[in-house]
A = this chain, B = another copy of it.
Amino acid sequence: MLSTQPYKGTRDFYPEDKRLQKFLFNSVRNCLEKYGYEEYDAPIIEPIEMFTAKSGEEIVNEQTYLFEDRGGRQVTLRPEMTPSVSRLVAGRRQELAYPLRWYSIPNLWRYERPQRGRLREHWQINVDIFGVDSIEAESELIRIADEMLKTFGATSDQFVIKLNSRKFVDFLFLEYFKLDKKSAAKVIKLIDRMHKLEPVKFKTTLDEIIAESKMESVIADQITELMTKKNIEYLPLDVRSHSSLQSLELLMNMLNTQGVTNVIFDITLMRGFDYYTDVVFEIFDTNPENSRAIMGGGRYDGLVGLFGVEPIATAGFGLGDVTLQDFLTTHKLLPVVTTETDIYAITLGNNSSAANEMISELRSKGINVAVDITDRKLASKIKTASKKNITFVMFIGDHEIEKNKVVLRNLPNGDEASYSVDEIVKFIKNYRSQK
């Protein structure tokens, strides 16, 4: 016997789930198109080399849906969209008109233990600007992410936008603390996981890395101390003066001017992917129940160049549907989206072709009508409409056809009246606009 359960870590979308997903994604599309972004897409299968190049080891070795196709190619279900969009841009490097504003809403796959905010299949809104090397790009992207959340009714106190810079991080560990590259990479990975670790565990692991790299142990203390700084102003002067931080301050000012005020500097923000080159950012729920980032992104100027063309300045972000829904649920912002079907039609008489004509006319005038085509009793048919949460039932009998009027009943409140086809069209359109 076959199981009715979906594959582990994935979701089925029954009509009510799909309606909600469509509502969320269409709101997002609407928001992005207001800023001139254009949607693209790419196949869900990509060669594995595309991800080994720059995505970070953990993702490729442990978490991808890697397999060999019947032609012996090593392929994977994409775990993220950034390499694919870079491939598309590289493929038409010369013809495209920059700056390019592109978005997509792909489903992504990761093999991992399903848990809150993490599933094996999720959808991710991906937004990128190609061809802008100034922080105008980051500013626009963050502003859009902010607006997206506000579109759903979120307020500035419900989420916080955290900023950091990979250039600054590199300066800090390689130049300021003078770690070798390998140790710096280890420290960065450790800080990336910092908020999931006990402080003692963090410190002892950091001590070990510093000891292994044959540096003085006081450096571990200094790093730990620095990671507690919540503001650029609190950093030592010789750290604070680094140009990457001046860019971050400028970016924060730009955002503040545009009404995005919930932006903070977070020295512990690292981002998992290896391809980021400068500014990185993440959005977090201020409600501690949701500890995962809702959105994350940054500048990755080098990725398009991996496809054998001149590199392009690029910045972008991704926003997952699961984390977005968790955020909206926590703040009671998830809407109830009702069925698109306006009317459930029940034919009572013998003149089915006249009834069909009436229904066709309603449809051609933009009204969505489901007809009960079973031969059940009237009561069962009405019950079906009610179970489907369709508000209006329409009765068409021979008498109604003669008078060219049909009876429309509002199921939830029982109101009933006779209307001509044109009156129904007007009535339903008015009802829709008031919902």
Chain A residues within CB distance 8 Å of chain B: 1-8, 10-15, 17-19, 21-22, 33-47, 49-50, 53, 65, 67-71, 75, 77, 87-88, 90-92, 97-99, 101-102, 107, 109, 111, 121, 131-132, 134, 136-137, 140, 257-258, 306-309, 339-341, 344, 353, 356, 363, 366-375, 384, 387-388
| Complex contact B369–A35 (CB within 8 A) | yes
Cα(A188)–Cα(B159), bound, Å: 62
Given contacts A4-B87, A308-B1, contact A132 B369 (CB under 8 A): no
CB-contact partner of A44 in B36, B41, B107, B368, under 8 A: B107
Q: Would you list the 5 A-B pairs with minimal beta carbon distance, nearest first?
A: A36-B370, A97-B387, A4-B91, A10-B43, A67-B67
Cα(A35)–Cα(B362), bound, Å: 10
Given contacts A2-B306, A91-B4, contact A99 B374 (CB under 8 A): yes
Cα(A8)–Cα(B73), bound, Å: 10
Cα(A258)–Cα(B356), bound, Å: 8
| Complex contact A34–B121 (CB within 8 A) | no
CB distance from A323 to the nearest CB of B (A): 18
CB-contact partner of A369 in B34, B49, B375, under 8 A: B34
Cα(A75)–Cα(B65), bound, Å: 11
| Complex contact B373–A2 (CB within 8 A) | no
CB distance from A126 to the nearest CB of B (A): 13
CB-contact partner of A370 in B35, B71, B91, B344, under 8 A: B35
Given contacts A33-B341, A132-B373, A374-B99, contact A15 B42 (CB under 8 A): no
| Complex contact A15–B102 (CB within 8 A) | yes
Cα(A109)–Cα(B77), bound, Å: 12
Closest B residue by C-beta to A313? B374
CB-contact partner of A34 in B47, B71, B77, B363, under 8 A: B363
Contacts of A65 in B (CB 8 A): 45, 69
CB-contact partner of A136 in B90, B132, B373, under 8 A: B373
Return 13 A-B CB contacts under 8 Å, by A number: A1-B307, A1-B308, A2-B50, A2-B87, A4-B91, A15-B38, A36-B368, A45-B77, A97-B384, A134-B374, A136-B373, A136-B374, A137-B373
CB distance from A132 to the nearest CB of B (A): 6
Contacts of A71 in B (CB 8 A): 8
Cα(A151)–Cα(B7), bound, Å: 36
Contacts of A387 in B (CB 8 A): 97
Given contacts A1-B307, A257-B353, contact A97 B388 (CB under 8 A): yes
Closest B residue by C-beta to A10? B43
Extra 17 A-B pairs, beta carbons < 8 Å, given A2-B49, A3-B87, A44-B121 = A4-B91, A6-B87, A7-B47, A10-B43, A12-B88, A14-B92, A15-B39, A15-B40, A19-B38, A19-B39, A34-B363, A36-B369, A44-B77, A44-B107, A45-B109, A67-B68, A134-B374
